[in-house]
Amino acid sequence: MDAPETTHGAMTPDGKRLVTLIPGDGVGPEVVDAARRIVEATGAPVAWDEQQAGGEVFKQGLPSGVPQATIDSIHRTRVVLKGPLATPVGFGEKSANVTLRKLFETYANIRPVREMPGVPTPYSGRGIDLVVVRENVEDLYAGIEYMQTPGVAEALKLISHKGCEKIVRLAFEFARSEGRKTVHCATKSNIMKLTEGTLKRTFEAIAPEYPDIEAHHIIVDNAAHQLVKRPEQFDVIVTTNMNGDILSDLTSALVGGLGFAPSANIGDDIAIFEAVHGSAPKYAGKDVINPTAVILTAAMMLRHIGLFDQASAVEQATVVTWEEGDARTRDVVGDAGAATTSAFANAVIANLGRTSDRYPARVRTPLQMPRLNLPPDLVKPETRRVVGLDVFVESALSPNELGPSIERAVDGSAVALKTISSRGTQVYPSAGAVTDTVDAFSCRLMQIDGGTDLTDDQTVDVLARVGAEHRWVHVEKLQEFDGVSGFTKAQGED
Ligand code: NAD
């Protein structure tokens, strides 16, 4: 069997690749132990640096759920195999999982699903074999939220050109490394033209650099529909964080559920491997949960550190175990006659070295991580201009009362009121829509003297004038870059 090909990451004195192992919470220790025993049985030159994170750490009073020793270990080893982590009710505010992903900028979440012989599903026989590549650090899941008023909540969906370029290139590189032929980019760019549209435009700009791979854009709701109707048409799907979360849970259900869904969180330098499923606390310590997802995750981890033969051995032995059906866990066969977690792992170990004709091993090449070194200000326009402001105010007035009041307030300033909208729909001047209003309104104030930049002094003057009459709660600069609007229009706005 081959030796590790990666150059970075810690090695033991006897030449084994060190991997940080986090057993995790609930069923984590059982399934991680199954994976660990199987990896060891392949003879892979891997040594474990066992560390803690999650439930017990929160309970010891550490609000992040991730101790410094674990962080230090990951910096050393650069590769992690982990079980699920729980956030116990009443401890910690943030999930330890999200902390780990963000701390190590693992910007891509790779979630493959493939039909498992011997695991009956409504899709059996259709050859599902696809991968969702989900952006993992941006989008609504950054969790940047505010209460605009006591009754209106806001979340910021930040999508960067840089983040899109990284995930798109990674998706194409991943497709190449697996010999896959098609990449679909799933977005909601028809509605969110700037945020989701950035991923679509970046995808379309980069796709020609990968002429060996077919590239298609698909609207994400259609992707969900097509995934249920004809999932076998998909190969790789690249998408934004929240879309990817939802689509990848859907895809795991197509091949038998969470027990069969492995995943990798990949960053430039560090990769964290974990099953998609959580800690399933109801089954903790009972030796009944399906360890397949974590075992397939361990195979992804082995491949990542260059141990392709051992990775295939683990994967193929797992497939043979399911195909022959002599050890099947209760999520597939129910309680009667189900194999325990440890018995399943023993069966996989016994099957090491065997291969399945129905699940041929892919011909893979090492993933070429895109080394982009992109500057933070990646997109540099030649011209830019602030052309107005959206000032959000809290008000219980009707639009027809608020409109004239704002017009009077800004009379004599550098701006004039263009429209007022309520949750994205123009309500003043009335465009004829029947809109139920709430107590947050966005007042679009456009610069009167077009052609110059609205200055900060003028902005402060406008806010003071509006603030003298109403409570303003949020402001957005309306900008143009190279003459193109950097803002969208409200529904009904001309
Ligand atoms: P869960 O994935 O633990 O369980 C959902 C359902 O799937 C349950 O019915 C469970 O029994 C079943 N299931 C899960 N894994 C299975 C497996 N390997 N084989 C068979 N059936 C399996 O999700 P949940 O109940 O929403 O979350 C429980 C805890 O896990 C929460 O604290 C949550 O925050 C945490 N969680 C952690 C991660 C992670 O660490 N990456 C992911 C999801 C949830």
Instruction: State the CATH number of the domain containing residue 80.
Output: 3.40.718.10
How far is ligand 1, taken at its centre, from the CA of residue 7, in Å?
35
β-strand pairing of 79-82 with 271-275: parallel
pLDDT in tens, 197-215: 999 999 999 999 999 999 9
Amino acid at 362: R
Q: Is residue 364 part of a domain?
A: no
Distance 372 CA to ligand 1 centre (A): 35
494 lies in some domain: no
* 186 and 94 in a common domain: yes
Q: How far is the CA of 118 from the centre of ligand 1 (A)?
A: 23
135 lines ligand 1 (CB under 6 A): no
Kindly give the number of the ligand 1 atom that is closest to the alpha carbon of 24.
Answer: 40
Find out whether the beta carbon of 290 lies less than 6 Å from any atom of ligand 1: yes
357 within domain boundaries:
no
Q: Which domain holds residue 305?
A: 17-350
> End of a domain among 308, 333, 350?
350
Q: What pLDDT, on the 0 to 100 scale, is given for residue 174?
A: 97
Q: Which of 350, 370, 397 is the last residue of a domain?
A: 350
* CA 221 / ligand 1 centre spacing (Å): 25
Angle between helix 341-350 and helix 28-41 axes, rounded to 10 deg: 10
Residues 332 and 443 in one domain: no
Do 304 and 420 lie in one domain? The reply is: no
Predicted pLDDT of residue 372: 80
Instruction: Give domain status of residue 337, yes or no.
Output: yes
Among 11-15, 62-66, 230-234, top mean pLDDT goes to 230-234
> Number of structural domains, the chain?
2
Tell me, using a 6 A CB cutoff, whether residue 279 lines ligand 1: yes
Residue 206 lies in a domain: yes
Residue 299 sits in the same domain as residue 405 = no
Q: What is the pLDDT of residue 109?
A: 97
Task: Determine if ligand 1 sits within 6 Å of the CB of residue 321.
Answer: no
For range 422-447, the mean pLDDT: 92
Closest-CA residue, ligand 1 atom 10, reads 280
Question: By alpha-carbon position, which residue is closest to atom 38 of ligand 1?
Answer: 278
Segment 116-143 mean pLDDT: 95
Q: Looking at the domain assignment, is residue 370 inside a domain?
A: no
**3-state class (DSSP) for residue 148:** strand
Q: In this structure, are residues 445 and 389 in contact, taking their beta carbons and an 8 Å threshold? A: yes
What pLDDT is attached to residue 35? 98
227 located within any domain: yes
Identify the sign of the CA torsion 92, 98, 101, 107: negative
What average pLDDT does the chain have?
94
Whether residues 123 and 249 fall in one domain: yes
Last residue within a domain, chosen from 324, 350, 376: 350
Residue 420 and residue 341 in one domain: no
pLDDT band at 124 (very low <50, low <70, confident <90, very high): very high
Nearest alpha carbon to residue 474 among 231, 43, 94, 147: 147
Predicted pLDDT at 21: 98
Q: Are residues 330 and 398 in the same domain?
A: no
**pLDDT attached to residue 347:** 98
Closest CA to 234 of 129, 117, 362, 364: 129
44-84 confidence digits (pLDDT tens): 999 999 999 999 899 888 888 999 999 999 999 999 999 99
- Do 173 and 266 lie in one domain? The reply is yes
The pTM for the full model equals 0.94
86 lines ligand 1 (CB under 6 A): yes
Q: For residue 93, what pLDDT is reported?
A: 64
The whole-number average pLDDT for the span 414-424 is 96
User: Based on the domain organization, do 251 and 317 belong to the same domain?
Assistant: yes
Q: Are residues 399 and 341 part of one domain? A: no
| Residue 277 covered by a domain | yes
Query: For position 409, which CATH number holds?
Result: 3.30.70.1570
To 10 degrees, the CA torsion angle through 117, 118, 123, 125? 50
User: What is the CA(24)–ligand 1 centre distance, in A?
Assistant: 12
Q: What is the pLDDT of residue 234?
A: 98
The answer to whether residues 324 and 413 belong to one domain is: no
CA of 277 to the centre of ligand 1 (A): 4
Q: Which residues contact 102 (CB under 8 A, 6 or more apart)?
A: 137
Q: What own/partner pairs with CB < 8 Å and gap ≥ 24 does 64-67 have?
A: 64/92, 64/94, 64/96, 64/99, 65/91, 65/92, 65/94, 65/95, 65/96, 65/99, 66/96, 66/99, 66/100, 66/103
Interval 339-357: pLDDT, tens? 999 999 999 999 999 999 9
The Å distance, Cα 332 to ligand 1 centre, comes to 16
CA of 346 to the centre of ligand 1 (A): 23
Report the nearest-CA residue for atom 15 of ligand 1.
277
50 strand-pairing partners: 21
Contacts of 399 (CB under 8 A, 6+ apart): 420, 422, 427, 428, 430, 437, 441
Q: How far is 492 from 487, CA to CA, in rounded Å? A: 15
Tell whether ligand 1 has an atom less than 6 A from the beta carbon of residue 245: no
Is 147 in a helix, a strand, or coil?
strand
* Ligand 1 near 280 CB (within 6 A): yes
Q: Is 97 in the pocket of ligand 1 (CB under 6 A)?
A: yes
85 in contact with ligand 1, CB cutoff 6 A: yes
Residue of 87, 91, 121, 277 to mutate, ligand 1, most atoms within 8 A of C-beta:
277
Say whether pLDDT at 36 is over 70: yes
Do residues 33 and 101 both lie within one domain? yes
Of 25, 95, 258, 322, the residue with max ligand 1 atoms within 8 A of its CB, to mutate for a pocket test, comes to 258
